[in-house]
Chain A
Amino acid sequence: MNGPVVRNVSRRRFLQVGAGAAGGLVLGFHLPGGLDAWGNRVGADGRLNGYVMIEPDGTITISLTHAEMGQGVHTALPMILAEELEADWSTIRVLLAPAAKEGAVVSAASGTGGSRTIRSQYGVVSKAGAIARDMLRQAAANRWNVPLEDCIARNGAIVAGDRTASYGDLSLGASMLPAPATAAIKTKAEWRLLGKPTKRLDARDKSTGQARFGVDVVLEDMLVGTIQQCPQWGGKLKTVDAAPALTVKGVEHVVTTDAAVMVLGSGYWPASKGLAALTPEWDSSSAKAEDSNVVANGLAKALRGKTAKIVDQGNIAQASKFVSKSITTTYEVPYLHQATMEPMNATAWVRDAKIDVWAPVQSAGRERLRIAQEFGVAEDDVTVHVTFLGGGFGRRSSMDFIRPAIIASQEARRPVKMLWSREEDMSHGLMRPIAKGRFAAGLNVPGMPVTWDATLAVPSISKQQAPHRVTGQVDPVSVYGADNLPYAIPHQRLRYAMPDFGAPLGFWRSVPHSYTAFFVESFLDEIAQESGTDPFVLRERLLVGQGRELALLAKLKQASDWAAKPEKGRFRGMAFHECFGSLIGQVVELSMQEDDDIRLERITAVIDCGMAINPLTIQAQIEGGIIYGLTAAMYGRIDVADGAAVQKNFDTYEMVRMGQVPPVDVHILEGGPIGGIGEPGVPPIAPALTNALFAATGTRYRKLPLMDAGLSLAGRHSD
């Protein structure tokens, strides 16, 4: 096995893809997880969906089909390429979406989510880089008539003795050569770029207003539209009189579907004024989301009702006879909305049975397929151009925000940018499910848990979005993080109840880990308290023999100064979690101000993400994940009333702000295979925070968000 295939496609005319690349070297490769090719399909020799182009002027372009939603993949993948290629970092460019001049140039391959991009693409991209490097070396060897071994690649040039040729100079020669099947990949010890803090390639565009997001798409003759869907999820549009909208200056069309009304005009403002002038009548008889108060009872009932067994290890019934102390608690979290900074939007242009879509999507390849199926066109006639994403967080792995743009463009026979108002965006989210967990443990005489009996009641995302993943009454995605505890507790049971309250559900950064970590790590803290054991010591005892976990705890203890008594008035809490192939631990240190205001003093995080490609990005992702999780723990809650979401904008869906955020100290360990970094920052922060609050106040906070218990975050600085 030579592993992934890398081909020399310099002679193929797919280069409408971007740069002229006349006469340069172009290698194509297949990134796993993808569905599509772009350019001409390459038939039997594999579907190419990633390219590296080395142009005569020395520019090196890597074309990527992965959504950049802030997680830094547009810097990390080029770094992997540049490392093997021995490229000069300043010559590297990223090409996001191809511009189709004509015909079917198909963008986008795999989905971006589950923190898996780097994990799945490392092998392919490094191989492509290594093969390009060796072809350039070969071109130099041929030119100078010297052995290949004498040609050394270094910083964008090939050197042999006192001769030097730049990559640009060699690119034409290399383009004539066959791509070798294999090439040596560097060992970690040989890395010169990977593992070093490297600044983002997109920072300049994003700091000068030049980066183009979905909302910024402009096409000739384009209309801008906005939408109102039946506020009740699942409800329908009964009737609407379009006339009032059409009198608004700039409004051109009113388009209806069975569940929505859209107004299109010369800009967003006329469209939204037009929409506001309408009084649609809705038929909510088919709406099915239960109100929050009903849901609360439903969750409690589900915990008492029929459950499916997911983990059953040891013998709890028998072991229970020997426990000296038992504790039982329940924890609960609400619905949450992703609230990406850029509201949902898409631009569509339907013409001649072809559909072009420009959108900030996490999984363009999959949406392309779905569009083809739903609108009855050939897959080759659908093009999805990916823009920058103003945040993803799981919300943009869906097609619900693309469909209306396509329908509107079909009706108007013009390109249409469909932009949702923030209110519409929040009213029609795909929410993190509410969840409730009951946890019971039996402790032996030394205070160690010997039985662990957990029951989770969580509506299933899979049941709505991927029913094939649900077998019987079990959706494994609902319980990740509670099903495979790293802790050695001899007798364990996990049961799962799948209530259904009708509200639309989706992925929210870290998915079930956002609640399983809160439940499990809060409960362990309660066990530690019950048995009078330090929370680190309890975990260390439960992790005996697990070197990677213990190393992480040791680092966290040291970095947070856990062994030293905190300053007077300050209190600490910790949590540990494993998810997306990474291990992460966090310590929160806080003090209490008047009026139940929490002053966050410092947060320490240690992540073991296996291999650290770009420490700067890892730091940023962990810090960002912590703030995302902190916002949810403090303020996040979507209520349902009359079958609709109650919180509709940032005035009622509060966010943590700059003045409340303490210094976050992130440490990176590399103890195993490559793991995710986009999501692991989120899960531990809620339990680390509530565990610290217990230390500070003696009160256990078992239900989020904390604002419901009268707590809020204090500003950290005052004059």
Chain B
Amino acid sequence: MAYVLRINGVDHRLDIDGDTPVLWALRDNLGLMGTKYGCGISACGACTVLADDAAVRSCGVSVEEAEGLDIITIEGLAEVGMGDMSDAWVEEDVPQCGYCQSGQIMAAAALLSENKKPTDAEIDAAMTNICRCGTYSRIRKAIHRVVEER
């Protein structure tokens, strides 16, 4: 069976099993490598994308479930007017190894599109992605920077 996924504003027809997680459709079928695999059990957040503006861990959503959702990945973030997220990440020199950062940015993007000026407690509640390199304090600073500059 084929499924139609709307990714970064474009519809893609994919002839793959319906239980394929969106993560793997993005990476292996569409070549969008910015979304990362970390755990496969929705525990780390490395695979976070936006689905209808909400942060979703794409390893836990199948293509079957994702039909009809408007999915944005890190590659499409600038095009929907949120390139300032990446700019803030660069300004605050956030990444270390960088592997978790697409997911962190997408989680933060979802938070800020819903809440223009989150408190630190709200940031903590939304930002539960793991960063093994420990870049948390710079991520927080980058989020505050986006809030100030928007």
Contacts and interface: CB of A to CB of B under 8 A. Distances in A.
Interface of A: 68-72, 199-200, 202-213, 215-216, 218, 224, 249-250, 266-270, 273, 339-343, 388-393, 419, 421-422, 616, 620-621, 623-628, 649-651, 655-659, 661, 663-664, 715-719
Nearest to B89: A207
7 contacts: A341-B38, A419-B37, A649-B41, A649-B43, A657-B124, A658-B124, A719-B119
A206 B94 CA distance: 9
Contact of B39 (A203, A204, A422): A422
Nearest to B102: A209
B121 A342 contact: no
B100 interface: yes
B17 interface: yes
Contact of A208 (B32, B86, B99): B86
Contact of B137 (A342, A422, A664): A664
Contacts of B34: 208-210
B96 A70 contact: yes
A663 B90 contact: no
A71 B85 CA distance: 23
B132 A628 contact: yes
Given A341-B97, A625-B134, A659-B128, 6 more contacts: A203-B90, A267-B27, A341-B46, A616-B93, A650-B38, A658-B124
Contact of A623 (B36, B74, B134): B134
Given A208-B34, A216-B33, A341-B131, A388 B39 contact: no
Given A206-B101, A209-B33, A390-B97, A624 B17 contact: no
Contact of B36 (A268, A342, A624): A342
A267 B29 contact: yes
Contacts of A663: 137
Q: Do most interface residues of chain B lie in helix, strand or loop, or is the interface mixed?
A: loop
B38 A249 contact: no
B137 A209 contact: no
Contacts of A716: 120, 124
A628 B134 contact: yes
Interface residues of B, number: 66
B86 A717 contact: no
B24 A269 contact: yes
A134 B114 CA distance: 56
B105 interface: yes
A208 B98 contact: no
A626 B136 CA distance: 12
A210 B77 CA distance: 12
Contact of A658 (B35, B75, B97, B140): B140
B124 A620 contact: no
Contacts of B91: 199
A658 B119 contact: no
- Closest 5 CB pairs between A and B? A209-B34, A627-B134, A206-B98, A390-B99, A659-B124
Contact of B33 (A212, A270, A422, A616): A212
A650 B133 contact: no
Given A70-B98, A208-B34, A717-B121, A199 B132 contact: no
